[in-house]
Amino acid sequence: MIKNAFLSFFLLFLATFAFSQSPLKYELSLTKRPSAIQEEISYMLQRGEDGGILIIKEKIFSAKGSAADSLFLTSVLEKPSDEKRILLREFVESKTTYVSDSLVITDLKVLEEIDLMVSKWNNLVEQSHLKNPNRFVLDGTTFSLSLLNENQELSSFSIHSPDDQTHPEITRLLRSLELLSKEF
């Protein structure tokens, strides 16, 4: 009798949480990499029916290295190969930490503007291929954007130093995400 009551309570508890979450409309990811400094900030907006969750991760490199680290890097960089590139990537990842935070977004005005940009995703992808012939960028920031829609289709593109003149919709989306992140 007690087992049946416990099992019924557990199933009711599980069903409450399983069916109370709103379905995901889309997941928008943005990674910002300034080229002059080894910094990286990632934004992920998970948009549901009644709001969204913004997750921000900032990459922080460990500043301290040891003599063993120097020897390892010297040996890996001496004769580059695919195996050594994998070792180097694993080494960098082991020395890297992330600071992250999340925020529940209820400001529908900003979310609706981002929804509008997401609905024009194909235009954003096309815009990412445009180049301004009158603009020369020596150093800048690379943005990688990806969208996972409700049909689980993933689409992504990267763009280097977008500007208002050539990439107006992309810069508008970037500003909207930046506006959300300022709430932290």
Assign 98 to helix, strand or coil.
Answer: strand
pLDDT, position 21: 52
* Domain boundaries defined on the chain: 23-63+99-181
Which fold, 23-63+99-181?
Mago nashi protein (3.30.1560)
**Whole-angstrom Cα Rg for the chain:** 22
CA–CA dist 172, 163 (Å, integer): 10
- Helix (H) / strand (E) element for 108: namely helix 108-119
pLDDT, position 110: 84
140: nearest Cα among 36, 31, 32? 36
Low-confidence ranges of the chain (pLDDT < 50): 6-7, 10-20
Phi/psi of residue 15, nearest 5 degrees = -65, -35
Q: pLDDT by residue (tens digit) across 42-93?
A: 999 999 888 899 999 988 876 677 788 888 888 888 887 888 888 888 888 7
Average pLDDT, the chain: 81
